Amino acid sequence: MPDDLERQAQGQLRRGLRIAMLLVTAAILFGLSLSNVIRKLDTFTAPAAQLAAFAALAAVLTGEAVLVVLGRPWGALRRPAVAVVLGASALSYTTLDGHTATTTDWAFGAANWVGVVVLLDRPLRSLVAFLVAHELTALADLVLIEGASQSALARFATGSVTVIGFPLCLSVVTVVLGRIGAAAAAATRELERVRTEEAVATEAHRRRTRRFAELSGTTVPLLEGLADGSLAPDDVEVQRRSAIEAARMRRLFAETDSVVDPLLHELRHCADVADRKGVEVELDARGRLPALPVPVRRDLTEAALTALATAESWARVTVVGEPELVSVSVVADCGEVDLPRPATPEVRVEMFGTDATVWMEVRWQPTRRTSKPAPLVAAG
């Protein structure tokens, strides 16, 4: 099925064709046909019938102008409009007195164009059926009134070339333009898809580069030390650093996930590192978390990340969310830990603890404006 882009392109093309066809038909009806009606009015046996037929066609054309301005199709009014066009054509023929397909027969070359206006956005077979009905109406008048003489049939056949040929050719061009428009929309859609894929690939490469730069300051030196033997794997401090870096890596990878609550999602990934060591972790969330930028989330999760990565047997993390306040507190048997200063000025860290148990709370308040990062507040 066509997507929004294709439907929009086809709609614009269809509107342009309707406007062009409306202008051409208006020139034919109110220019050539009206002048013929006025000049030949005294030759009609019933001039009122000819004027009524002209008024009916003019009303249909006016309806098309209104619909174009409103941007709406004919819809359920299409069939009544076609019936009015054919009826106006038949009414005109009844009072021509044997002048079918002559200059006096103004409706022969006007009603066909008005019908094309109504059926422009319909399948080609609908237009062909209308033109055939229009021709049969004129032919019936020719046979019944003039007796279908050889000269009359020749005149009718000659006039039919333009009456059928021109509208039919125009309808074929409309169909071709519609297909070209659909093909152009499809090509545009494919181009947008390729550009999107390229943008996604570029963004993924940029994220990978940024991740490596973020890890190079802490993780890479640790890995290099383990690789060259300067750091011992059985050293308790090295193990603590390794656990913290592993949690940071898990958090870093979780930052790119599309989830409802990114902060809780990242904390769960940090807790997974502790869980793998056999630490009993309890994570509790209350309130509703606002949307937080990545730097703020990193500051909020750093204390919990460190405590979870270095806890001995248990840890409890509590997250409280409000529109203007987010708090992440953690209690764990991790002993004394060193936390980096928050990079976000609105983030404040408090820490209390003993040798065995530590309580830490990180609060973010966007209304708090400070010129420097908030210091760590600790009490033993």
Q: What is the pLDDT of residues 160-219, one digit of tens each?
A: 666 777 777 777 777 777 677 677 777 777 888 888 888 888 887 787 777 677 677 778
**Residue 205 within any structural domain of the chain:** no
- If asked whether residues 225 and 313 sit together in one domain, one would say yes
Instruction: Give me the pLDDT at residue 320, please.
Output: 93
Q: Does 1 score more than 50 pLDDT?
A: no
Mean pLDDT of the chain, nearest integer: 81
Q: Does 352 score more than 90 pLDDT?
A: no
Phi first, then psi, for residue 349 (nearest 5°) are -120, 135
**Residue 23 within any structural domain of the chain:** yes
**Residue 9 within any structural domain of the chain:** yes
Q: Considering the entire predicted model, what is its pTM?
A: 0.47
Is the Cβ–Cβ distance between 326 and 289 less than 8 Å?
A: yes
Give the separation between CA 69 and CA 104, rounded to whole angstroms: 33
Is the Cβ–Cβ distance between 5 and 190 less than 8 Å?
A: no
**Residue 208 within any structural domain of the chain:** no
Q: Which of 85, 90, 92 is nearest to 40 (CA)?
A: 92
For the domain that residue 306 is a member of, what is the CATH number? 3.30.565.10
- If asked whether residues 149 and 234 sit together in one domain, one would say no
**Residue 109 within any structural domain of the chain:** yes
Helix (H) or strand (E) holding 177: helix 150-216
**Residue 335 within any structural domain of the chain:** yes
Domains of the chain: total:
2
Q: What is the pLDDT of residues 325-339, one digit of tens each?
A: 999 999 998 877 778
Q: Which of 154, 51, 35 is nearest to 95 (CA)?
A: 51
Give the separation between CA 330 and CA 380, rounded to whole angstroms: 16
List Cα–Cα distances, 354 to 315, 335, 363, in angstroms. 15, 7, 21
Packing angle, helices 150-216 and 219-228, rounded to 10: 60
Check the CA dihedral 79-92-109-41 and report its sign: negative
- If asked whether residues 57 and 117 sit together in one domain, one would say yes
Q: Region 299-309: what's the mean pLDDT?
A: 89
Structural domain containing residue 257:
219-379
Q: What is the pLDDT of residues 31-73, one digit of tens each?
A: 888 888 888 777 787 888 889 989 999 999 999 999 988 888 8
- If asked whether residues 236 and 354 sit together in one domain, one would say yes
Instruction: Give me the pLDDT at residue 374, please.
Output: 45
Q: What is the pLDDT of residues 77-125, one digit of tens each?
A: 888 998 999 888 888 887 776 666 666 778 888 888 888 888 887 877 8
- If asked whether residues 38 and 182 sit together in one domain, one would say yes
**Residue 195 within any structural domain of the chain:** no
Burial of 133 (0-12, 13-18, 19+ CB in 10 A): middle
Check the CA dihedral 148-152-154-158 and report its sign: negative
Highest-confidence range of 1-10, 100-109, 135-144, 197-206, by mean pLDDT? 197-206
List Cα–Cα distances, 334 to 118, 140, 306, 331, 359, in angstroms. 81, 102, 9, 9, 10
**Residue 300 within any structural domain of the chain:** yes
Is the Cβ–Cβ distance between 111 and 57 less than 8 Å?
A: yes
- If asked whether residues 185 and 147 sit together in one domain, one would say yes
Q: What is the pLDDT of residues 234-270, one digit of tens each?
A: 888 888 888 888 888 888 878 778 888 899 999 998 8
- If asked whether residues 44 and 175 sit together in one domain, one would say yes
The one-letter code for the residue type at 243 is A
Give the separation between CA 127 and CA 97, rounded to whole angstroms: 28
Residue 282 pLDDT grade (very low, low, confident, very high; cuts 50, 70, 90) = very high
- If asked whether residues 247 and 366 sit together in one domain, one would say yes
- If asked whether residues 303 and 178 sit together in one domain, one would say no
- If asked whether residues 174 and 226 sit together in one domain, one would say no
Q: Which two tokens stand for residue 270?
A: 């940090």
- If asked whether residues 141 and 267 sit together in one domain, one would say no
- If asked whether residues 18 and 139 sit together in one domain, one would say yes
* Domain closes at, from 189, 210, 241: 189
Check the CA dihedral 82-85-89-92 and report its sign: positive
Residue 370 pLDDT grade (very low, low, confident, very high; cuts 50, 70, 90) = very low
Check the CA dihedral 222-227-229-234 and report its sign: positive
Q: Does 28 score more than 80 pLDDT?
A: yes
The one-letter code for the residue type at 354 is T
